[in-house]
Every structure is written in structure tokens, then in C-alpha cells.
Chains A and B, each alone.
Chain A
Amino acid sequence: SQQGEEDPQALSIQEGENATMNCSYKTSINNLQWYRQNSGRGLVHLILIRSNEREKHSGRLRVTLDTSKKSSSLLITASRAADTASYFCATDAGVTGGGNKLTFGTGTQLKVEL
């Protein structure tokens, strides 16, 4: 089963609104990463947050991590039509936890309408 589960599966908002996506996972992690994918294209890395960090910012993106709840959230502020894409969280459970690999969730499809 997937390590990361995103919620909601789909989200539709108006341009200018904020979009929040959540990710829950099951085991201890070394870090958690968020990626973006435009339809049918390769994934693009957005943010990496380590297990000892609680919050991280990059431009209009804000990521939080709560290791006690095994969850993370991605907030996109002042959304634009160009933010329309699928967003994935990926967990790195480290050598002992995950066997040297990233495990991806099934993604949140975000649609930003004009």
C-alpha cells in the first residue's frame, strides 16, 4: 500500500484563493517531499522538509510537517491558473524504514479556475 495518502483527491478553487492539500503516512520518515506534475509530464520537485523541521516556505508555498500525527500539508497561497496540476507527496523512510527509496502517494488534482 502507498506510504503517503493525499487528501483531497481533487480540489477546484478560484484564482486568488488558497489551496491546501494534506498528506498522511504510516511509518517514521527521514524527510517528506512535495512534487508537482502537469498533465502527463515529468514531476517537478517543490519542497523537501526533514523530519526535524516543522515548517518550510518557498515563494507562495508553505509546507508543514507533524511527525506525531504522521501528516504534512502543502499550502499554495494566492493561486493562479498556472498552478493547475497534480501534487504528490513522497516519503523517504530511510535505509531501515523504506529500503532506500521514495514512496509516492496517489496525488491531489488541483484545478484553479479564472
Chain B
Amino acid sequence: EAQVTQNPRYLITVTGKKLTVTCSQNMNHEYMSWYRQDPGLGLRQIYYSMNVEVTDKGDVPEGYKVSRKEKRNFPLILESPSPNQTSLYFCASSLGLHNEQFFGPGTRLTVL
């Protein structure tokens, strides 16, 4: 089954404790992206990747890192999480930028 998976689905952590949210897709998509969703603000793009080893900042990249060492994986790294990064995070992938995006189920992160 074609899908985008994210782990963990729920995470409660404390300020400053490094964490990684994994994202994997099995559709051989080149384009992958991370979004955060906050009430009243819609979805905002954090980082995106056009292909392996090619990443770029989205609208709200501060406090986040990404890597794209393999085509299928696009982990999101929070080196030193802060409470303002409490949010619902979505990973998405597509054949290319100009195609429909397939979204993962989301990761709800709480930073205390």
C-alpha cells in the first residue's frame, strides 16, 4: 500500500531534549516536505527536499533541521525543542512539486 509513515505519532518531551521525528514514503517520490499545523494559522512549511541531498527552507525553518540521505526518508530534527514548537507536524511527499501531495498521519508534539 502506497503510504507516508511518521513516527512517533505522539510525543511529550521537555525543553532542550533533542528529538527526531521520522518520515518514510514507499512511492519513490522525489519531493518531500515537513509542515506544522497550528490553530488559526493553517499549515506552514518548515523544510522541503527536491531530491536526495537537496533540501531548502520553507516558511518557518527556525529551530529545525532535516536531512535527506535516502530517497524514502526525510527525518525532522529538533536539536533543542522549545514550548513554541508544540504543534501537529505532517510529512508529505509527491512525485514532484507540481503534483498532489500525500500526507502522513501526523505527529502531535508537546514540549513542556
Contact = CB atoms under 8 A, between A and B. Distances in A.
A2 B48 CA distance: 17
Interface residues of B, number: 28
A44 B103 contact: yes
Given A40-B88, A42-B106, A99-B56, A48 B100 contact: yes
Nearest to A45: B100
B7 interface: no
Interface of A: 2, 30-31, 33, 35, 40-45, 48, 88, 90, 92, 94, 99-107
14 contacts: A33-B101, A35-B103, A41-B105, A43-B103, A100-B50, A100-B56, A101-B48, A101-B59, A102-B97, A103-B45, A103-B59, A104-B42, A106-B40, A107-B42
Given A33-B100, A100-B48, A101-B59, 12 more contacts: A30-B98, A40-B108, A42-B104, A42-B105, A43-B90, A44-B103, A45-B101, A100-B50, A101-B33, A101-B45, A104-B35, A104-B42
